[in-house]
Amino acid sequence: MKCSRCKKLACVTLPSHHSGFCAECYPLFFTRQVETAIRREKMFTHEERILVALSGGKDSLSLMLELAAQGYDVTGLHIDLGIPGSSPSARVKVEAFCSSHGLKLEVLEMEKEGLPIPDIKAYVNRPVCSVCGRIKRHHFNRIAMEGGYDALATGHNLDDEVARLFANTLRWDTAYLSDQGPTLPAREGFVRKVKPLFRLSEFETANYAFLKGIEIHSAACPYASGASFTSHKELWGELEHRSPGQKFQFYQGFLKKGKPAFAAREAEVGEPLAPCVECASPTSAGTCSVCRIKETVRANKAAALAAEG
């Protein structure tokens, strides 16, 4: 296939776009998709300050590089989860990436916050990934609010969004369905959240990272459990193979027709929020779930140490 832009030999073919690109033109395709996402979903402007969540994977680092190249005021935030065999290498990759590109970076250590993920695994009787995700979202929002950022950007791509939407639809989880989308406006206690890569698939982002020579963190987390999202992605990969463009149509259809209905319903039944008595993050329960988890870790760890000694 020839490059849709310059007619040289294409190195990436994109059936869902009926096009292909050579190595020089592909990043332009990527840039246009990100520009369109930001503009159509009113994500942010060049006058605003954006905090970018950086895990060290291909999506978050590609997002950071692209937003910086488009002239946005971006600062990276990496959360060091304290997971042996995974977190040290993720942190090294993020720090090296930001330093080599001259990008601002903040690092938050869960060890110092009293919530390293190995302690969650050892002392909290709940699925570690769900607690880990909650802790990350909590701290991304807290740092963005405390730092006065206008928006928090994450590297979720189209495959992530479709897998999540599919899982929520299978459960008809209306609260989560009302809260999914590429732009979630700011509200009391919550920063605006945006996903500028939502028009791009995992494959498309991986190509960008590769062609830009980004060194990514790829060591698997020892606690990764092969969650249902993985099988949903495989299922959608098969559908997309048979009918290119289906993933994007499904997601766009939800944004246009499904989300407004769920959002209206949740606005009626949603619980009122107030600041957590411990950390001031918004919660409907007096003390927020992350502060309660922290207390569980502290108490169970102390009990385990007392039993040992």
* Strand 151-153 with 183-184, pairing: unpaired
How many residues belong to the site for ligand SF4 (CB under 6 A)?
A: 9
CA dist 31 and 27 (Å) reads 6
| Residue 264 buriedness (CB in 10 A; 0-12 / 13-18 / 19+) | exposed
Q: Taking CB within 5 to 8 Å according to partner kind, which of Zn ion, ligand SF4, none is near residue 167?
A: none
Q: Taking CB within 5 to 8 Å according to partner kind, which of Zn ion, ligand SF4, none is near residue 221?
A: ligand SF4
Residue 90 within binding range of ligand SF4, rule CB under 6 A: no
Residue 291 within binding range of Zn ion, rule CB under 5 A: yes
Q: Which two tokens stand for residue 134?
A: 């909650």
Options 32-40, 214-222, 253-261, 276-284: segment touching Zn ion (CB under 5 A):
276-284
Q: Who contacts 195 (Cβ-Cβ below 8 Å, separation ≥6)?
A: 37, 153, 154, 155, 156, 161, 182, 183
Q: How far is the CB of 278 from Zn ion (least distance, A)?
A: 4
Q: Taking CB within 5 to 8 Å according to partner kind, which of ligand SF4, Zn ion, none is near residue 279?
A: Zn ion
Site for ligand SF4 in 124-143 (CB under 6 A): 128-129, 132-133
Amino acid at 302: A
Neighbours of 93 (CB within 10 A): 22
Site for ligand SF4 in 213-232 (CB under 6 A): 221, 223-224
Report the residue number, 42 or 126, with the smaller CB distance to ligand SF4.
Answer: 126
Q: Taking CB within 5 to 8 Å according to partner kind, which of ligand SF4, Zn ion, none is near residue 276?
A: Zn ion
Amino acid at 245: G
